[in-house]
Structure 1
Amino acid sequence: MVNKVAKKPLVIAVTGLNAIDSPGPGVAVIRALRDGLEQELRIIGLSYESLEPGVYLHDLVDKTYQIPYPSAGAEALVERIQHIHSKEHIDIIIPNFDAELYNFIKVSAQLHAIGIKTFLPTHESLEARDKINLAKFGKKYEMHVPQQMVIHKVDDLRKAAEELEYPLVVKGKFYDAYVCQNIEQAQKAYYQISAKWGTPIIVQEFIKGSEINIAGLGDGKGNCVSIIPMRKLYITDKGKAWAGITIEGADLLNLARQFTKATNWRGGFELEIMRSKKDELYIMEVNPRFPAWIYLTAGAGQNQPASLAKMALGQSVEPFDEYQIGKMFIRYAWDHITDVGEFQQLSAFGEL
């Protein structure tokens, strides 16, 4: 009788478990991984706070560990990941927050040395598309981007308004953006954003038009493996899509390919686009990771998180050539019941 050795499940660690009204991508990424990878998975959640809802969704997340905030630095991150890896034998890590990417990219070689795969852009690519550098990026690669000014003090708002005129958009270096109609609103936005994310603050020209988002996946060699354009159908007061629908548009696909070729982007990204009244496509922002609505790519026939995991493992993934137009997502909220003991365990011991 031959004894069969049980195959080890693929262990994937995922951040971004804050499935709130302004959700992180983590829960959607996990759903896509479970749908798209035809093998047993063990999903490890990496959380920053004890009240991230994804921590307690045990049908999706098998085990959760807290990790240090990005401000703690790359050394603290890699030490914590090494400890978690000693217990879980992680195969792949998929980070999903802008603010953590710098550290994860910095330690990716160390992680690879101990057997943990990532599929991330380079620091150069990350910096090139940064909000602060977006105007320079657009000029270099002949892409439409709004005019903007980068400021470090609230007094500079008046000068920015004189140049850009109202309405204008006040944006944080990582997250948050407010459309402001006057100096009072601009000052309020400045203080709110700087208190949360620090300076500098980006003041951007307001482009009127229809908003479109594009989720893409680059192979790191200038090719786009997957492109899914989506139009928002319902937007929250924080500007987040609560419902959306896949749309067609050759110009949208070409823009995503142009961005990927210009940056040799490696990994997931999101282009926030505004189609102006003159039918020009303006890149408003480039998010260097999967968006929170990424599960729609699985529903439309191009499962980007599953494809990224395969590429991280060194498998060949052919570029997708079609997707389903008219596929919708509608986000919803429900009350998940758990026990206070789980919250206390994660808070006290850093794992659950």
Structure 2
Amino acid sequence: MTSPAPTSPTSEAGAARPRLTVAVTGLNAVDSPGPGVAVARALLESPDFDVRLIGLCYEALEPGIYLPGLFAKTYQLPYPSAGTEALLARLEEIHAQEQLDVLIPNFDAELYNLIRLAPQLLRRGLRTVLPTLAQLEARDKLNLAAFGASHGLHVPADCRLHHPDELPAAAGQLGWPLVLKGRFYDATVAYTQAQAEQAFQQLSARWGVPLIAQQFVAGQEINIAGLGDGRGQALSVVPMRKLYITDKGKAWAGITIHDEALLALARRFVERTQWRGGFELEIMRTPAGDLFIMEINPRFPAWIYLTAAAGQNQPAQLLRLALGLETPPLTEYAVGKMFIRYAWDLITDHTEFQQMAAGGEL
């Protein structure tokens, strides 16, 4: 599927914009969406670059593949479980065809392989902006409590679960209700033993064990999208308060807010961890005003387009960082900018789906 060629490859000042070919993953724009479509929209609106986008998918039914005007071409990748050799071989094939400049991954599970491959990709001219393996593992849900303690950040108490028989002990330690979380995604609030056992079976069947049982913290849900330069400086921080939350706990509507405590928390996270790349802090603000970090996502969130709409285009800022260009921190953004997601029927032809499913590219 070919998108229209850019009609004005110039910046607002009239200078020619650098032409870049950027690969983006996370095209599953469903009820629990990946960030890829939002990242793509933000990149196409950057005044600094003339971007040609290449989509990278894992399944032929990811809606982002078929959205018009976004991706010049889309290729299918092997699942992360296939390992680094299979991924490198596929990326080399795609790179030979497209001459990629930058790769922006948007799924937690794919980061482990890509971080290991980053030096090899760079030697081939393909740039990434990623945390280190140590950073990635330190903020993992399994290690979050220790991470918070080591960096002086408020994090709920938790424990690991390998078997449903461990639930009563976890409830005795954490109290009811408690939150059960899968290793990479999904969370369920359980108010009773029966609910906890059912959630354990569902989450372990999907994500394996261990699961994480986490202390329930009541309050206002806030998310912060940010970008770190790898040297302790936050290049962009935009907080968003959730206005509507789905049954899967995903923000379906949100609004940018200004709160110095939230901005300071995100900057402290970047400074103390030396984080490199995009991130999202999932925050719970208690009625007393305490800020608990519930999760740290090691990539841009699905609502990242809101940062561009508010004046801090974090995906475009990441491109500058990847290319080694001067990347001054962004400090101003519009407060009160809202996003509201919606569902609509995307119509495509079955031949495009068959081409994607059978050939692995479109």
Could you tell me the TM-score, scaled by structure 2's length?
Answer: 0.94
Deviation (angstroms), 1:7: 9.2
Name the structure 2 match of 1:11. 21
Name the structure 2 match of 1:3. none
* Distance of 1:126 and 1:60 partners within structure 2: 29
Show the 5 A alignment for 1:140-219: 140-219=150-229
Deviation (angstroms), 1:333: 1.4
Instruction: Name which of 342, 345, 349 aligns with 2:355.
Output: 345
Instruction: Name which of 81, 85, 88 aligns with 1:78.
Output: 88
Are residues 1:247 and 2:222 paired? Answer: no
Deviation (angstroms), 1:135: 0.3
* Distance of 1:141 and 1:8 partners within structure 2: 39
Name the structure 2 match of 1:100. 110
Are residues 1:48 and 2:64 paired? Answer: no
* Distance of 1:13 and 1:221 partners within structure 2: 25
* Distance of 1:94 and 1:37 partners within structure 2: 19
Deviation (angstroms), 1:226: 0.3
Deviation (angstroms), 1:8: 8.1
SS in 2 for 1:155: helix
* Distance of 2:240 and 2:44 partners within structure 1: 22
Structure 2's unaligned 5+ residue stretches are: 1-15
Name the structure 1 match of 2:5. none
Instruction: Name which of 265, 271, 288 aligns with 2:281.
Output: 271
Residues 183 and 13 of structure 1, relative CA distance in 2, 3 Å threshold: same
Name the structure 1 match of 2:319. 309
Deviation (angstroms), 1:141: 1.1
* Distance of 1:78 and 1:187 partners within structure 2: 40
Are residues 1:292 and 2:302 paired? Answer: yes
Deviation (angstroms), 1:154: 1.4
Instruction: Name which of 123, 127, 131 aligns with 2:133.
Output: 123
Q: Which amino acid is 2:172 matched to? A: E
Structure 1's unaligned 5+ residue stretches are: 1-5
Are residues 1:28 and 2:38 paired? Answer: yes
Deviation (angstroms), 1:337: 0.6
Instruction: Name which of 65, 84, 89 aligns with 2:99.
Output: 89
Deviation (angstroms), 1:151: 1.3
* Distance of 1:253 and 1:296 partners within structure 2: 16
* Distance of 1:219 and 1:262 partners within structure 2: 12
Deviation (angstroms), 1:39: 3.4
SS in 2 for 1:36: coil
* Distance of 2:174 and 2:237 partners within structure 1: 32
Aligned residues of 2:18 and 2:48 also touching (Cα < 8 A): no
Residues 151 and 12 of structure 1, relative CA distance in 2, 3 Å threshold: same
Deviations 1:54-107 (A, max 9, x none): 000131111000000000011111110000000000000000000100101010
Aligned residues of 2:18 and 2:49 also touching (Cα < 8 A): no
Q: Which amino acid is 1:97 matched to? A: F
* Distance of 1:308 and 1:139 partners within structure 2: 29
Residues 133 and 7 of structure 1, relative CA distance in 2, 3 Å threshold: closer
Deviations 1:281-312 (A, max 9, x none): 00000000000000000011100000001110
Are residues 1:230 and 2:265 paired? Answer: no
Deviation (angstroms), 1:46: 0.4
Deviation (angstroms), 1:9: 3.4
Could you tell me the TM-score, scaled by structure 1's length?
Answer: 0.97
Aligned residues of 2:246 and 2:252 also touching (Cα < 8 A): yes
* Distance of 1:131 and 1:303 partners within structure 2: 28
Deviation (angstroms), 1:40: 2.5
Deviations 1:248-296 (A, max 9, x none): 1111011001110111100000000001122110000000000000000
The total of aligned residue pairs comes to 347
